[in-house]
């Protein structure tokens, strides 16, 4: 198999350049693993208490004291002088995050069912202040419900009922099919970054071989050899396919080295299948690039443009939820978009059955469809080149 042996020699000669991309990927994967180890799963979410200045101008009624006691669950009370200058200074120097002013006459108006407004001042773009707003509204709305349905209820009874109702909490547990949520996030990033490495390795390896083999003089010599053209094409096909599968297997072995038995989880195995489908698509892209170019310098440039361009546009280096709608709409013409979308969604799929897996079959189908279209273009280019040589 002379063509196959030539393929092996070309890959061996360019092995150092290919290993650079593999080393970069190993570095990225190692950083993901170390960052995941530094953050235990049970500390992924924790409440952050707001620094609250509670200014009560309603003479500390039972109702306002009840509201203050309830808010102490979600805020750290800060003692500040109640004059406007002191409050503004405290907010400016970040001694407080939120100032809640209870106006005079609040209790009488509220108990009488009259409309009232609390005065609040918070730091700009503070998410925690929004959370505190929700709890204030929850307390007041619950109190209004009791006032509307129990005429003559006292402030003491009202506060007791509201506090009792709002003390009931529901335990919420977010589960991923991969037990450790950090490992799930990290392994998703691992597979997403894999698209960059697969594209780079395949375009450089297959592109280099196709570029060498399609040189006019060399191609003419092989056509005159004793090896039939059909057999030569079959050897090229098998050489490209075996090289692509070896690259995919190297990625999977690296995954087992880093994540161990997690790679055997059903969502991760499906991500590995998705990576294999993407490998075939990357093979067709590499075949077209190698059939088009004639310069090795151009091949290196195209490798970076294609791999980095697709990965930045489609959500590998920048998450898809952070990309604009127009960017995502444009990215759908690339296979990397569907590959990344598959990985991002499959890891959090609660139960994997035929009905729930149908959209993911569509994602892989889109990748294969794009790959077939690219392969068809490559074959047309090769046919035109062959006609040029024969002429």
The answer to whether the pTM exceeds 0.85 is no
Domains of the chain by start residue, with CATH: 2-40+177-390 (no CATH), 50-166 (3.40.1710.10)
Q: Give CA–CA dist 232/3, Å, rounded.
A: 6
Q: Give the per-residue pLDDT at 42.
A: 43
Q: Give the per-residue pLDDT at 269.
A: 92
Distances 44 to 135, 176, 366 between C-alpha atoms, Å: 22, 13, 34
Q: Give CA–CA dist 372/378, Å, rounded.
A: 10
* Chain centre to alpha carbon of residue 356: 20
β-strand pairing of 50-56 with 75-77: parallel
Burial pattern 259-295, b for ≥16 Cβ within 10 A else e, equals beebbebebbebbbebbbbbbbbbbbbbbbbbbbbee
Q: Give the per-residue pLDDT at 279.
A: 95
Positive or negative CA dihedral for 323, 327, 331, 332?
positive
| Cβ neighbours for 111, distance < 8 A, ≥ 6 positions apart | 63, 147, 155
- C-beta of residue 122 within 8 angstroms of C-beta of residue 105: no
Q: Give the per-residue pLDDT at 74.
A: 84
Count the Cβ atoms, other than its own, within 10 Å of residue 252: 14
The region that residue 315 occupies, defined by phi over 0 for left and psi between -120 and 50 for alpha, beta otherwise, is left
* Chain centre to alpha carbon of residue 172: 23
Count the Cβ atoms, other than its own, within 10 Å of residue 234: 14
| Cβ neighbours for 316, distance < 8 A, ≥ 6 positions apart | 192, 193, 195, 196, 310, 336, 340
| Cβ neighbours for 204, distance < 8 A, ≥ 6 positions apart | 14, 17, 18, 21, 299, 300, 303
pLDDT in tens, the chain (391 residues): 566 676 677 777 777 777 777 787 777 667 755 654 444 444 444 556 788 888 887 667 888 888 888 888 888 888 888 788 888 888 778 788 888 888 888 888 888 888 888 888 887 656 667 778 888 889 989 989 888 888 888 888 988 998 888 887 665 555 544 444 455 678 888 899 899 889 988 888 888 877 777 666 656 666 566 666 667 677 778 888 888 999 999 999 988 988 888 888 888 999 999 999 999 999 999 988 888 877 777 888 888 899 889 999 998 888 888 888 899 999 999 999 999 999 998 887 767 777 788 889 999 999 999 999 998 988 888 777 766 655 5
Return the residue matching tokens 């196709």.
210
Any idea how long the chain is? 391
3-class SS string, the chain? CHHHHHHHHHHHHCHHHHHHHHHHHHHHHHHHHHHHHCCCHHHCCCCCCEEEEEEECCCCCHHHHHHHHHHCCCEEECCCCCCHHHHHHHHHCCCCCEEEEECCCHHHHHHCCCCCCCEEEECCCCHHHHHHHHHHHHHHHHHHHHHHHCCCCCHHHHHHHHHHHHCCCCCCCCCCCCCCHHHHHHHHHHHHHHHHHHHHHHHHHHHHHHHHHCCHHHHHHHHCCCCCHHHHHHHHHHHHHHHHHHHHHHHHHHHHHHHHHHHHCHHHHHHHHHHHHHHHHHHHHHHHHHHHCCCHHHHHHHHHHHHHHHHHHHCCCCCHHHCCHHHHHHHCCCHHHHHHHHHHHHCCCCCCCHHHHHHHHHHHHHHHHHHHHHHHHHHHHHHHHHHHHHC
């Amino acid at each position: 198999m002379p063509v196959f042996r030539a393929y092996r020699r070309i890959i061996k000669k360019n092995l150092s350049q290919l290993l650079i991309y593999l080393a970069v990927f190993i570095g990225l994967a190692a950083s993901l693993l170390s960052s995941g180890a530094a953050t235990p799963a049970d500390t992924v979410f924790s409440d952050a208490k707001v620094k609250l200045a509670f200014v009560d101008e309603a003479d500390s009624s039972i109702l306002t004291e009840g509201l203050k006691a309830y808010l102490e669950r979600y805020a750290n009370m800060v003692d500040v002088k109640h004059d406007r200058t002191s409050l503004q200074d405290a907010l400016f120097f970040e001694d407080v995050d939120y100032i809640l002013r209870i106006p005079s006459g609040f209790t009488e108006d509220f108990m009488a069912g009259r409309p009232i407004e609390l005065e609040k001042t918070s730091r700009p773009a503070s998410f925690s202040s929004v959370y505190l707003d929700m709890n204030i509204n929850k307390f007041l709305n619950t109190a209004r419900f009791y006032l509307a349905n129990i005429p003559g209820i006292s402030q003491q009874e009202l506060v007791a009922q509201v506090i009792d109702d709002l003390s009931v909490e529901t335990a919420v547990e977010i589960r991923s099919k991969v037990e450790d949520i950090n490992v799930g996030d990290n392994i998703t990033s691992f597979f997403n970054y894999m698209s960059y490495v697969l594209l780079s390795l395949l375009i450089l390896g297959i592109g280099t071989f196709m570029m060498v083999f399609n040189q006019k003089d060399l191609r003419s010599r092989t056509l005159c050899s004793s090896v039939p053209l059909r057999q030569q094409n079959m050897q090229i096909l098998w050489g490209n396919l075996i090289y692509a599968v070896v690259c995919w297997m190297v990625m999977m072995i690296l995954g087992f080295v880093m994540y161990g038995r997690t790679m055997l989880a059903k969502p991760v195995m499906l991500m590995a299948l998705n990576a294999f489908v993407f490998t075939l698509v990357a093979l067709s892209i590499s075949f077209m690039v190698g059939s088009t170019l004639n310069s090795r310098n151009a091949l290196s440039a195209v490798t970076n443009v294609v791999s980095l361009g697709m990965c930045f546009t489609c959500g590998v280096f920048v998450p898809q939820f952070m990309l604009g709608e127009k960017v995502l709409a444009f990215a759908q013409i690339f296979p990397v978009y569907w590959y990344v979308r598959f990985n991002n969604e499959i890891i959090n799929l609660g139960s994997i059955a035929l009905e729930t897996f149908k959209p993911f079959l569509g994602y892989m189908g889109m990748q294969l469809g794009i790959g077939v279209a690219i392969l068809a273009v490559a074959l047309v280019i090769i046919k035109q080149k062959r006609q040029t040589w024969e002429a």
